[in-house]
Protein backbone atom coordinates (compact mmCIF):
# COMPACT_ATOMS: atom_id res chain seq x y z
CA UNK A 1 0.00 0.00 0.00
CA UNK A 2 1.15 3.60 -0.50
CA UNK A 3 1.91 5.78 2.48
CA UNK A 4 -1.34 7.02 4.02
CA UNK A 5 -2.02 10.60 2.77
CA UNK A 6 -2.58 11.90 6.30
CA UNK A 7 0.70 10.35 7.45
CA UNK A 8 2.44 11.80 4.40
CA UNK A 9 1.11 15.28 5.19
CA UNK A 10 2.28 14.97 8.81
CA UNK A 11 5.77 13.91 7.77
CA UNK A 12 5.96 16.82 5.32
CA UNK A 13 4.96 19.23 8.09
CA UNK A 14 7.71 17.85 10.30
CA UNK A 15 10.30 18.23 7.55
CA UNK A 16 9.17 21.80 6.79
CA UNK A 17 9.48 22.60 10.51
CA UNK A 18 13.11 21.43 10.38
CA UNK A 19 12.55 18.47 12.70
CA UNK A 20 15.73 16.33 12.55
CA UNK A 21 15.64 12.58 13.15
CA UNK A 22 16.28 11.44 16.71
CA UNK A 23 19.79 10.21 15.96
CA UNK A 24 20.83 13.76 15.05
CA UNK A 25 19.74 15.15 18.43
CA UNK A 26 21.15 15.13 21.89
CA UNK A 27 19.14 13.26 24.51
CA UNK A 28 17.81 16.51 25.93
CA UNK A 29 16.85 17.80 22.47
CA UNK A 30 15.00 14.56 21.74
CA UNK A 31 13.15 14.75 25.05
CA UNK A 32 12.06 18.30 24.30
CA UNK A 33 10.97 17.37 20.76
CA UNK A 34 8.80 14.57 22.15
CA UNK A 35 6.37 17.15 23.58
CA UNK A 36 5.04 17.56 20.02
CA UNK A 37 3.18 14.27 20.53
CA UNK A 38 0.79 16.01 22.94
CA UNK A 39 -0.83 18.04 20.14
CA UNK A 40 -1.21 14.96 17.92
CA UNK A 41 -3.35 13.02 20.39
CA UNK A 42 -6.45 15.19 20.34
CA UNK A 43 -8.04 16.92 23.33
CA UNK A 44 -7.86 15.08 26.68
CA UNK A 45 -11.07 13.35 27.70
CA UNK A 46 -12.53 13.65 31.18
CA UNK A 47 -12.37 10.45 33.24
CA UNK A 48 -14.02 9.61 36.54
CA UNK A 49 -10.78 10.05 38.51
CA UNK A 50 -7.07 10.62 38.03
CA UNK A 51 -4.64 10.12 40.89
CA UNK A 52 -0.89 10.57 41.11
CA UNK A 53 1.23 8.26 43.23
CA UNK A 54 4.80 7.33 43.91
CA UNK A 55 5.30 3.60 44.27
CA UNK A 56 8.44 1.80 45.46
CA UNK A 57 10.80 0.64 42.73
CA UNK A 58 14.03 -1.34 43.05
CA UNK A 59 16.24 1.77 42.93
CA UNK A 60 13.86 4.75 43.22
CA UNK A 61 10.25 5.66 43.89
CA UNK A 62 8.38 5.62 40.59
CA UNK A 63 5.70 8.14 39.56
CA UNK A 64 2.51 6.51 38.33
CA UNK A 65 -0.72 8.07 37.13
CA UNK A 66 -3.90 6.08 37.76
CA UNK A 67 -6.92 6.65 35.51
CA UNK A 68 -10.27 5.30 36.68
CA UNK A 69 -13.25 5.15 34.29
CA UNK A 70 -16.90 5.58 35.18
CA UNK A 71 -18.44 2.66 37.07
CA UNK A 72 -18.37 0.90 40.39
CA UNK A 73 -15.66 -1.73 39.94
CA UNK A 74 -13.81 -3.81 40.70
CA UNK A 75 -12.36 -2.92 37.31
CA UNK A 76 -9.99 -4.75 35.02
CA UNK A 77 -6.64 -2.97 34.85
CA UNK A 78 -3.97 -2.19 32.26
CA UNK A 79 -0.45 -1.56 33.49
CA UNK A 80 0.73 0.71 30.67
CA UNK A 81 4.39 1.23 29.75
CA UNK A 82 4.72 4.09 27.29
CA UNK A 83 7.01 4.19 24.29
CA UNK A 84 10.13 6.30 24.39
CA UNK A 85 13.03 4.30 22.97
CA UNK A 86 13.62 3.82 26.72
CA UNK A 87 14.87 7.43 26.59
CA UNK A 88 12.47 10.28 25.84
CA UNK A 89 8.76 10.24 26.77
CA UNK A 90 6.95 10.52 30.11
CA UNK A 91 3.48 10.00 31.54
CA UNK A 92 2.56 13.69 31.18
CA UNK A 93 3.08 13.60 27.41
CA UNK A 94 1.00 10.42 27.18
CA UNK A 95 -1.90 11.72 29.30
CA UNK A 96 -4.53 12.22 26.53
CA UNK A 97 -4.08 8.69 25.19
CA UNK A 98 -4.20 7.13 28.65
CA UNK A 99 -7.48 8.91 29.36
CA UNK A 100 -8.92 7.62 26.10
CA UNK A 101 -7.67 4.11 26.88
CA UNK A 102 -9.39 4.06 30.28
CA UNK A 103 -12.69 5.34 28.86
CA UNK A 104 -12.77 3.08 25.81
CA UNK A 105 -11.77 -0.15 27.57
CA UNK A 106 -13.51 0.37 30.91
CA UNK A 107 -10.19 -0.45 32.59
CA UNK A 108 -8.27 1.31 35.28
CA UNK A 109 -5.06 2.36 33.55
CA UNK A 110 -1.88 2.61 35.61
CA UNK A 111 0.65 4.58 33.55
CA UNK A 112 4.19 4.00 34.77
CA UNK A 113 6.98 6.56 34.53
CA UNK A 114 9.86 4.07 34.54
CA UNK A 115 13.38 5.48 34.74
CA UNK A 116 14.99 6.31 31.40
CA UNK A 117 18.27 5.63 29.68
CA UNK A 118 21.01 6.70 29.25
CA UNK A 119 21.03 7.74 32.90
CA UNK A 120 19.37 4.42 33.77
CA UNK A 121 20.39 1.73 31.31
CA UNK A 122 19.11 -1.83 31.03
CA UNK A 123 17.97 -3.54 33.18
CA UNK A 124 16.66 -0.56 35.18
CA UNK A 125 13.61 0.25 32.98
CA UNK A 126 12.71 -3.45 32.86
CA UNK A 127 13.09 -3.81 36.62
CA UNK A 128 10.87 -0.76 37.13
CA UNK A 129 8.23 -2.20 34.79
CA UNK A 130 8.28 -5.52 36.64
CA UNK A 131 8.09 -3.90 40.07
CA UNK A 132 5.18 -1.72 38.97
CA UNK A 133 3.23 -4.70 37.67
CA UNK A 134 3.78 -6.58 40.92
CA UNK A 135 2.72 -3.52 42.92
CA UNK A 136 -0.55 -3.26 40.99
CA UNK A 137 -1.32 -6.93 41.60
CA UNK A 138 -0.49 -6.62 45.30
CA UNK A 139 -2.69 -3.52 45.73
CA UNK A 140 -5.74 -4.74 43.84
CA UNK A 141 -8.19 -4.04 46.67
CA UNK A 142 -6.83 -0.55 47.24
CA UNK A 143 -7.09 0.24 43.52
CA UNK A 144 -10.59 -1.28 43.22
CA UNK A 145 -9.40 -3.66 40.52
CA UNK A 146 -9.94 -7.35 39.83
CA UNK A 147 -6.63 -9.19 40.37
CA UNK A 148 -7.81 -11.84 37.92
CA UNK A 149 -8.06 -9.32 35.08
CA UNK A 150 -4.66 -7.68 34.85
CA UNK A 151 -3.26 -6.74 31.44
CA UNK A 152 0.17 -5.33 30.63
CA UNK A 153 0.53 -3.12 27.59
CA UNK A 154 2.85 -0.73 25.86
CA UNK A 155 3.95 0.74 22.57
CA UNK A 156 7.39 0.55 20.96
CA UNK A 157 9.93 0.40 23.81
CA UNK A 158 6.96 0.06 26.16
CA UNK A 159 5.80 -2.92 24.14
CA UNK A 160 9.26 -4.38 24.62
CA UNK A 161 8.94 -3.94 28.39
CA UNK A 162 5.39 -5.32 28.44
CA UNK A 163 6.40 -8.46 26.55
CA UNK A 164 9.37 -8.99 28.86
CA UNK A 165 7.20 -8.50 31.96
CA UNK A 166 4.87 -11.26 30.73
CA UNK A 167 7.84 -13.58 30.30
CA UNK A 168 9.07 -12.73 33.79
CA UNK A 169 5.63 -13.38 35.30
CA UNK A 170 5.61 -16.81 33.70
CA UNK A 171 9.09 -17.55 35.02
CA UNK A 172 8.18 -16.38 38.53
CA UNK A 173 4.78 -18.09 38.63
CA UNK A 174 2.93 -14.79 38.93
CA UNK A 175 1.42 -12.31 39.11
CA UNK A 176 -1.27 -13.87 36.96
CA UNK A 177 -1.58 -11.77 33.82
CA UNK A 178 -4.68 -12.06 31.65
CA UNK A 179 -3.62 -10.18 28.52
CA UNK A 180 -0.76 -8.40 26.76
CA UNK A 181 -1.19 -5.41 24.47
CA UNK A 182 1.87 -4.93 22.25
CA UNK A 183 1.73 -1.92 19.93
CA UNK A 184 4.55 -1.93 17.34
CA UNK A 185 6.85 -3.48 19.97
CA UNK A 186 10.64 -3.53 19.73
CA UNK A 187 11.32 -7.21 20.37
CA UNK A 188 14.92 -7.54 19.13
CA UNK A 189 17.82 -5.21 18.45
CA UNK A 190 18.54 -6.77 15.03
CA UNK A 191 18.55 -3.83 12.61
CA UNK A 192 19.13 -5.93 9.49
CA UNK A 193 15.61 -7.33 9.31
CA UNK A 194 13.74 -6.60 6.02
CA UNK A 195 11.40 -4.00 7.52
CA UNK A 196 14.32 -2.07 9.05
CA UNK A 197 16.10 -1.98 5.70
CA UNK A 198 13.00 -1.18 3.63
CA UNK A 199 11.88 1.63 5.96
CA UNK A 200 15.33 2.85 6.96
CA UNK A 201 14.72 6.54 6.27
CA UNK A 202 11.93 9.03 5.86
CA UNK A 203 9.24 7.72 8.19
CA UNK A 204 10.10 9.60 11.42
CA UNK A 205 11.52 6.58 13.25
CA UNK A 206 14.54 5.54 11.21
CA UNK A 207 16.85 2.54 11.26
CA UNK A 208 19.61 4.74 12.69
CA UNK A 209 17.14 6.12 15.23
CA UNK A 210 16.73 2.62 16.61
CA UNK A 211 20.51 2.16 16.70
CA UNK A 212 20.65 5.42 18.72
CA UNK A 213 17.94 4.24 21.13
CA UNK A 214 19.39 0.75 21.57
CA UNK A 215 22.82 2.29 22.13
CA UNK A 216 21.50 4.38 25.00
CA UNK A 217 19.54 1.49 26.51
CA UNK A 218 22.08 -1.34 26.36
CA UNK A 219 25.68 -1.38 27.42
CA UNK A 220 27.75 -1.25 24.27
CA UNK A 221 29.67 -4.33 25.36
CA UNK A 222 26.52 -6.46 25.55
CA UNK A 223 26.66 -8.66 22.46
CA UNK A 224 23.95 -11.14 23.42
CA UNK A 225 21.28 -9.40 25.50
CA UNK A 226 18.85 -11.74 27.21
CA UNK A 227 15.09 -11.92 26.76
CA UNK A 228 14.54 -9.11 29.27
CA UNK A 229 16.00 -6.78 26.62
CA UNK A 230 15.02 -8.74 23.51
CA UNK A 231 11.89 -10.85 24.13
CA UNK A 232 12.15 -12.40 20.67
CA UNK A 233 15.30 -14.18 21.86
CA UNK A 234 13.43 -16.10 24.54
CA UNK A 235 13.71 -19.80 23.80
CA UNK A 236 10.12 -20.59 24.79
CA UNK A 237 7.05 -18.36 24.44
CA UNK A 238 4.52 -20.90 25.63
CA UNK A 239 2.30 -20.25 28.61
CA UNK A 240 2.07 -16.50 28.04
CA UNK A 241 -1.16 -14.48 28.19
CA UNK A 242 -3.25 -13.89 25.06
CA UNK A 243 -2.04 -10.97 22.99
CA UNK A 244 -2.96 -8.25 20.56
CA UNK A 245 0.11 -7.37 18.48
CA UNK A 246 -0.09 -4.28 16.28
CA UNK A 247 2.37 -3.15 13.60
CA UNK A 248 2.59 -0.42 10.97
CA UNK A 249 3.52 -0.99 7.33
CA UNK A 250 6.13 1.79 7.05
CA UNK A 251 7.86 1.06 10.35
CA UNK A 252 11.40 -0.28 10.81
CA UNK A 253 9.96 -2.34 13.71
CA UNK A 254 7.22 -4.04 11.68
CA UNK A 255 9.09 -7.35 11.57
CA UNK A 256 9.74 -7.17 15.33
CA UNK A 257 6.02 -7.35 15.98
CA UNK A 258 5.19 -9.79 13.18
CA UNK A 259 7.89 -12.27 14.20
CA UNK A 260 6.86 -12.07 17.84
CA UNK A 261 3.20 -12.64 16.96
CA UNK A 262 4.17 -15.63 14.80
CA UNK A 263 6.24 -17.16 17.59
CA UNK A 264 3.46 -16.63 20.13
CA UNK A 265 1.03 -18.39 17.82
CA UNK A 266 3.48 -21.24 17.19
CA UNK A 267 3.82 -21.63 20.97
CA UNK A 268 0.07 -22.03 21.36
CA UNK A 269 -0.65 -18.53 22.70
CA UNK A 270 -3.90 -16.96 21.45
CA UNK A 271 -2.84 -13.91 19.46
CA UNK A 272 -4.44 -11.41 17.12
CA UNK A 273 -2.01 -9.72 14.77
CA UNK A 274 -3.03 -6.44 13.09
CA UNK A 275 -0.82 -4.67 10.57
CA UNK A 276 -1.97 -1.18 9.60
CA UNK A 277 -1.33 -0.51 5.92
CA UNK A 278 0.10 2.89 5.06
CA UNK A 279 0.95 3.73 8.66
CA UNK A 280 4.16 4.88 10.36
CA UNK A 281 5.66 4.19 13.76
CA UNK A 282 4.03 6.17 16.54
CA UNK A 283 0.57 6.42 14.98
CA UNK A 284 -1.11 5.29 18.22
CA UNK A 285 -0.16 8.71 19.61
CA UNK A 286 -1.55 10.50 16.53
CA UNK A 287 -5.27 9.74 16.73
CA UNK A 288 -5.98 13.47 16.79
CA UNK A 289 -4.69 13.83 13.22
CA UNK A 290 -4.72 10.32 11.71
CA UNK A 291 -7.92 8.39 11.02
CA UNK A 292 -5.97 5.14 11.26
CA UNK A 293 -4.95 6.13 14.78
CA UNK A 294 -8.62 6.40 15.69
CA UNK A 295 -9.23 3.00 14.12
CA UNK A 296 -6.45 1.52 16.24
CA UNK A 297 -7.97 2.98 19.41
CA UNK A 298 -11.28 1.36 18.48
CA UNK A 299 -9.65 -2.01 17.81
CA UNK A 300 -7.81 -1.94 21.13
CA UNK A 301 -11.04 -1.11 22.97
CA UNK A 302 -12.88 -3.99 21.30
CA UNK A 303 -10.15 -6.56 21.90
CA UNK A 304 -9.40 -5.54 25.50
CA UNK A 305 -13.05 -5.48 26.50
CA UNK A 306 -13.54 -8.96 25.06
CA UNK A 307 -10.39 -10.32 26.70
CA UNK A 308 -11.01 -8.82 30.13
CA UNK A 309 -14.76 -9.24 30.41
CA UNK A 310 -15.83 -10.73 33.78
Cα separation of 124 and 59, whole Å?
A: 8
> Is 281 a known active-site residue?
yes
The one catalytic residue in 84, 132, 156, 195 is 156
Interior angle at CA 144, CA 140 and CA 148, nearest 5: 50
The one catalytic residue in 82, 120, 216, 281 is 281
114 Cβ contact list (under 8 Å, min separation 6): 57, 62, 81, 124, 125, 128, 129, 132, 161
> Is 4 a known active-site residue?
no
The one catalytic residue in 128, 155, 251, 256 is 251
- With b for 16 or more beta-carbon neighbours within 10 A and e for fewer, the 43-61 pattern comes to eeeebeebeeeebebeeee
> Is 156 a known active-site residue?
yes
Could you tell me which of 91, 81, 180, 77 has the C-alpha nearest to residue 138? 77
Cα separation of 195 and 251, whole Å?
A: 7
**Do 145 and 71 meet the contact criterion of CB atoms below 8 Å apart?**
no
Cα separation of 99 and 109, whole Å?
A: 8
**Do 144 and 245 meet the contact criterion of CB atoms below 8 Å apart?**
no
Strand order in the sheet with 145-155: 49-56, 61-68, 108-112, 75-81, 145-155, 179-183, 243-250, 271-280
85 Cβ contact list (under 8 Å, min separation 6): 22, 156, 157, 209, 210, 212, 213, 216, 217
User: What residues are labeled active site?
Assistant: 156, 251, 281
Amino acid sequence: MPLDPQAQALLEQMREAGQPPFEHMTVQEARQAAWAFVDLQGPPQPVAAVSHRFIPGPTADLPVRIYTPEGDGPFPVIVYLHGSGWVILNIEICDPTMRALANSTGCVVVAVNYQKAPEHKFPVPFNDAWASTCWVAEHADELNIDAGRIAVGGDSAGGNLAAAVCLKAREEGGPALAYQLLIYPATDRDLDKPSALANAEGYMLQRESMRWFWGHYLDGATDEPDWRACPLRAEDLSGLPPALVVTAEFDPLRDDGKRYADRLREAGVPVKYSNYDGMIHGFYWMNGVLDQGKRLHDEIATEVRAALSP
